[in-house]
Chains A and B, each alone.
Chain A
């Protein structure tokens, strides 16, 4: 448990004089050491809500000889500023790189706190952020209000084209995958073998599917399984020291989800009924299971019906 006085101080320095007076919009950033020189900040296992300021995604801080590396940076300018101060307080080095794992706003809207020249993402992520950023921004402001103050749209300036990046001797493998979205970045710290999975990995928390391609997601999980690694830092849910549990849980859920929704379409259920299907006992410890099932029905059901139900129209005689 690392919540040093330095990080506390950093967190306090991060907020501006006006907002420092308003404790309602202060993020509590508590990094926990998960491997040599790598900390995880756990997001709330909740939907994006005013009560959590949108801080629901896990964030990684990696200390390197060349400076501090962040993987994802949270939902807002306020969050990312506080994160930057905490991270730099922890490592004693400035942030030199921010990796954004994928387009979703709980992971990347905070990049507005950084010089875009140090922010890197997969090319597919950058084009998706350019396409959907305005819509995400509107939605986040609507839900979170003042938490989002000052959060402008920004795009990463570095389009990742290499399969690794070295930071003064600490090298990170960069894995260009997809399935949770059209472009999902996972990172492997070669020194410790720690895998940072982004939202390809959910742990004790039901996966969310607003932009998912389940077949691609499965392929990406297979790639992560066959990649030698130690612990896994998932996009949502607690750290997985085994490195295999989060992968297995994510696969189990998306397999169950797809099979279940296909069965539901084939047996004639409508979307309300499909959202009320019993969730198997083995997922009972998974946070947000019913919530994500109902969201997934909304995301996936119309296309499944379009694929599985036959054409019945005929020419008028």
Chain B
């Protein structure tokens, strides 16, 4: 079941032979691609637009190469998957996250190729999908412009460097993990540079239990920056493994800080 969305979507859309198998609700954003994406991502599962999940982003897309979005579904119980996609991007799905043992929260930065709906969709344990999102006015060039590090030529020097930190949150047993990976995240849409991106990030506990599993595409910005909220207590070590499309693994670990001595 790995990589089902990210890989499945492209040929489906390219063929144009998309047949909606379920009657999806009418799209409040009136996107030309709604039915096609719904068929590819949701299939026969029930779908509804739901205000309890929020996709947050700034009022302006100052940098089309790096537009921050947060999908927050902590208001609903039993979230199994969290997907972030932009209808009119050449690579629509940016994130497909399974917060196995984490709060339902994910932040990333994505590329925007043109004015597009950007959506968050979460799937609950019973299979139904809840969707929200909005139109983002982007000037263009996010996916079809080379990443800044390709322009600078220094990407190889820093490839795979990870920075990050964890914080204990107010909620008992929940941490906040911020993680940045230096990676060009090449889309394959620029010049002769082939697709080259981080494709999975896995977060595990000290005992090896999976806390969160994330698939990501080159629609995420260069040097991806993520926030997730694993269930981990102060003092616990979070182990992170990012893997790119060349099969290279970038390991890291972060300790959730303990309570300060009084």
B255 smallest CB distance to A (angstroms): 9
- Known contacts: A312-B163, A312-B254. The answer to whether A305 contacts B59 by CB under 8 A is no
Query: What residue of chain B has the Cβ atom nearest to residue A296's Cβ?
Result: B62
Docked complex Cα distance between A143 and B166 (Å): 41
- Name the prevailing secondary structure of the B interface residues: strand
Residues in A neighbouring B240, C-beta threshold 8 A: 312
Asked if A164 CB lies within 8 Å of chain B CBs, one says: no
Please report the total number of B residues contacting A with Cβ < 8 Å.
Answer: 37
A272 touches B58 (CB 8 A): yes
B15 smallest CB distance to A (angstroms): 32
Which of B57, B60, B223 is in CB contact (< 8 Å) with A291? B60
B70 touches A272 (CB 8 A): yes
B176 touches A272 (CB 8 A): no
Residues in A neighbouring B187, C-beta threshold 8 A: none
B107 touches A305 (CB 8 A): no
Docked complex Cα distance between A313 and B198 (Å): 15
Residues 291-304 of chain A, each 1 if its beta carbon lies under 8 Å from chain B, else 0? 10011011100100
Query: What residue of chain A has the Cβ atom nearest to residue B238's Cβ?
Result: A312
B176 touches A313 (CB 8 A): no
Residues in B neighbouring A306, C-beta threshold 8 A: 163, 180
B152 smallest CB distance to A (angstroms): 13
Residues in A neighbouring B59, C-beta threshold 8 A: 290-291, 294
Docked complex Cα distance between A270 and B68 (Å): 8
Binds A, one of B3-11, B31-39, B208-216, B244-252: B244-252
A271 touches B68 (CB 8 A): yes
Asked if B128 CB lies within 8 Å of chain A CBs, one says: no
Query: What residue of chain A has the Cβ atom nearest to residue B178's Cβ?
Result: A268
Residues in A neighbouring B60, C-beta threshold 8 A: 47, 291, 294-295
- Known contacts: A302-B225, A305-B180. The answer to whether A314 contacts B249 by CB under 8 A is no
Query: What residue of chain B has the Cβ atom nearest to residue A316's Cβ?
Result: B251
* Residue from B68, B180, B240, B254 whose CB has the most chain A CB atoms within 10 Å: B68
Asked if B56 CB lies within 8 Å of chain A CBs, one says: yes
Which of A47, A272, A309, A316 is in CB contact (< 8 Å) with B164? A309
A313 touches B139 (CB 8 A): no
B164 touches A271 (CB 8 A): no
B180 touches A314 (CB 8 A): no
B223 touches A270 (CB 8 A): no
B57 smallest CB distance to A (angstroms): 6
Asked if B218 CB lies within 8 Å of chain A CBs, one says: no
Asked if B162 CB lies within 8 Å of chain A CBs, one says: yes
- Name the prevailing secondary structure of the A interface residues: helix
Count class of interface residues, chain A: 20 to 34
Residues 209-248 of chain B, each 1 if its beta carbon lies under 8 Å from chain A, else 0? 0000000000000010101000000000000100000000
B254 touches A267 (CB 8 A): no
A268 touches B68 (CB 8 A): no
A212 smallest CB distance to B (angstroms): 13
Asked if A161 CB lies within 8 Å of chain B CBs, one says: no
A270 touches B70 (CB 8 A): yes
Asked if B69 CB lies within 8 Å of chain A CBs, one says: yes
A272 touches B69 (CB 8 A): yes
Docked complex Cα distance between A275 and B139 (Å): 20
A268 touches B176 (CB 8 A): yes
Which of B62, B69, B250 is in CB contact (< 8 Å) with A298? B62
A315 smallest CB distance to B (angstroms): 8
Residues in A neighbouring B62, C-beta threshold 8 A: 294-295, 298-299
Give the top 8 A-B pairs by smallest Cβ distance, nearest first.
A271-B68, A298-B62, A270-B107, A313-B162, A312-B252, A294-B58, A309-B163, A268-B167
In the assembled complex, 25 residue pairs joining A and B whose CB atoms fall closer than 8 Å, in A order, are: A268-B176, A270-B68, A271-B58, A271-B107, A271-B109, A272-B58, A275-B68, A291-B60, A294-B59, A294-B60, A297-B58, A298-B66, A305-B163, A305-B178, A306-B163, A309-B164, A309-B165, A311-B162, A312-B163, A312-B253, A312-B254, A313-B162, A313-B251, A314-B251, A314-B253
